[in-house]
Amino acid sequence: MTRAENHCRMSASDQTSDAASPGRWLANQPYLLLSITALCWAGNAIIGRLAAGHIPPVTLAFLRWGLAFLIILPLAWKHLARDWPTIRVTLGTMILLSITGISAFTSLQYWSLEHTQALNTLLLQSAGPLFVAVWSLILLGVRLTLAQAAGIALSLTGVLVILLQGDLTALRSIAFNKGDIIFTVALAIFGLYSVMSLKRPDIHGLSFVAFTFGCGAACLVPPLILELLTRPVMQLDTANLLSLFYVAVFPSTVAYICFNRGVQLIGANRAAPFFHVVPVFGSVMAIVVLGEHPQLFHIIGFALVLTGVFVASRKASARSG
């Protein structure tokens, strides 16, 4: 009886210790996990801007996802092996998701950062939900409510304010910043990825991440070869290696693990607003780290984008509830 009591006491002590462990505590804090995700993704724009001119965009994207694949593979291997028959049946969809969400979006994002401020791309990123809405209408026939349409109009106005640098008369000459245009195309592609991800097979989250990381990196091989033949090769110096370490570990591996766990805890709808925390973190980092100076058109455009997204998503939430 005494031994049994001692065993029970030890078990209770072990459970208390496990519950108090930092890792277990963090794994059950969805808002902190999603904030970490937003911080990591914001830092990606900063590092991409710092790497511009030192690491070619396709090289940076390829090494980011290739290294992230190698990091996450040990965690995902058993799930990937179990889910492989399902992946093989839906291989076309999985490859499309890998190209749009991993290969194309990231390469274009890093390319755009060679021609524009990190602050611009961070603020434009707030318009991502608009492209999701457009693709949802085109591919799924999801009709917009009046509030959603008004929100999209507001947000698009904000995007134009940023693209035109506050000078609406520039529409006459269509003299957009090259980097802003490239990143806007990247956002449109990522919007397609977001909508198409609704058709992803029913597989474990780590299986999905590992496959898209690896396949996305593999799909970058042809443009990588072209880039190596036409542009200077990346130098293996300390700054470049640290940049590669950051993009492979934080906005890829850490961010995706935190994001998936956060969504698991509170659901996708409640997690979605954290996408709009990315520009907030990133704008502060761009000003502090890169010394970029926010202009009035940045503030006005950002406010319009967030107001539009709020108006659109608020009505949708009310209807779903």
Q: What is the pTM for the complete model shown?
A: 0.76
pLDDT at residue 187 greater than cutoff 80: yes
Contact, 195 vs 136, CB < 8 A? yes
Residues 6+ apart with CB under 8 A from 38: 274, 275, 277, 278, 280, 281
**DSSP string for 167-232:** -GGGGGTT---HHHHHHHHHHHHHHHHHHHGGG--S--HHHHHHHHHHHHHHHTHHHHHHHHHHSP
Helix (H, G, I), strand (E, B) or coil at 78: helix
* Amino acid occupying residue 23: G
More confident residue, 206 or 295: 206
pLDDT at residue 1 greater than cutoff 80: no
Please give the pLDDT value at position 319. 42
For 33, phi then psi, to 5°, come to -60, -45
Radius of gyration of the chain (CA): 22
220-266: pLDDT as tens digits: 999 999 999 999 999 989 999 999 999 999 998 888 788 777 777 77
145-155: pLDDT as tens digits: 777 677 767 77
Cα end-to-end distance, the chain, whole Å: 53
- CA separation for the pair 276, 279 (Å, rounded): 6
Please give the pLDDT value at position 10. 40
pLDDT at residue 16 greater than cutoff 70: no
pLDDT at residue 271 greater than cutoff 50: yes
Question: What does the block give as tokens for 289?
Answer: 């780290």
Helix (H, G, I), strand (E, B) or coil at 164: coil
pLDDT at residue 104 greater than cutoff 70: yes
Question: What does the block give as tokens for 241?
Answer: 């290696």
Residues 6+ apart with CB under 8 A from 215: 94, 95, 98, 102
Please give the pLDDT value at position 7. 45
Chain mean pLDDT for the chain? 80
With bands split at pLDDT 50, 70 and 90, how would you rate the model's confidence at 13?
A: very low
With bands split at pLDDT 50, 70 and 90, how would you rate the model's confidence at 163?
A: low
With bands split at pLDDT 50, 70 and 90, how would you rate the model's confidence at 197?
A: confident
Contact, 143 vs 172, CB < 8 A? no
With bands split at pLDDT 50, 70 and 90, how would you rate the model's confidence at 167?
A: low
**DSSP string for 229-254:** HHSPPPP--HHHHHHHHHHHIIIIII
